[in-house]
Amino acid sequence: MSIKVMIVDDSAVVRQVLSGLLNAAPGITVMHAVANPLLAMERMKVQWPDVIVLDVEMPKMDGITFLRKLMTEHPTPVVICSTLTEKGAQTSVEALTAGAVAIITKPRLDLKQFLHDSADELVSAVRAAAGAHVGKLANRPAPPPVTVKLNADAILPPENVRPMTATTERVVAIGTSTGGTQALEEVLTALPRVAPGIVVVQHMPEKFTAAFAARLDSVCEVRVKEAANNDRVLQGQVLIAPGGKHMLLRRTGAQYFVEVVDGPLVNRHRPSVDVLFRSAARAAGANALGVIMTGMGDDGAAGLLEMLKAGARTVAQDEASCVVYGMPKEAVKKGAVERSVPLNAIYREILQQLQY
The tens digit of pLDDT for each residue in 158-204 reads: 665 444 444 557 899 999 999 999 999 999 999 999 999 999 999 99
Q: What is the mean pLDDT of residues 100-106?
A: 84
Q: Map residue 204 onto helix, strand or coil.
A: coil
Distances (CA, A) of 35 to 17, 30, 288: 14, 14, 49
The CB density around residue 156, as the number of other CB atoms within 10 Å, is 22
- Is residue 246 part of the annotated active site? The answer reads no
Does residue 144 fall inside a structural domain? Answer: no
CATH of the domain at 32: 3.40.50.2300
Same domain, 43 and 170: no
Helices within 57-155 (DSSP H only): 63-73, 86-98, 111-117, 119-130
Between 34 and 109, name the one with better pLDDT. Answer: 34
Are 102 and 199 within one domain? no
Q: Check residue 110 and give its pLDDT.
A: 66
Which pLDDT belongs to residue 93? 85
Active site residue 177: yes
Q: Say which of 299, 318, 321, 340 is annotated catalytic.
A: 299
Distance CA 288, CA 171 (A): 5
Same domain for 31 and 93: yes
pLDDT band of 148, cuts 50, 70, 90: very low
Catalytic residue among 133, 203, 246, 269: 203
Question: Could you tell me if 35 and 108 lie in one domain?
Answer: yes
Q: Which of 82, 92, 124, 177 is catalytic?
A: 177
Q: What is the pLDDT of residue 154?
A: 60
Residue 287's domain comprises 157-353
For the cut 50, the answer to whether the pLDDT of residue 146 exceeds it is no
Tens digit of pLDDT for each residue in 306-317? 999 999 999 999
Query: Where does a domain end: 115, 131, 147?
Result: 131
Q: Judge whether 299 counts as a catalytic residue.
A: yes
Q: What is the CA radius of gyration of the chain?
A: 20
Q: Of 131, 147, 182, which one is at a domain's C-terminal end?
A: 131
Q: Are residues 346 and 207 in the same domain?
A: yes
What is residue 150's predicted lDDT score, i.e. its pLDDT?
62
Q: Which CATH number covers residue 299?
A: 3.40.50.180
Q: Is 255 within the bounds of a domain?
A: yes
Partner residues linked to 177 by β-bridges: none
Residues 127 and 161 in one domain: no
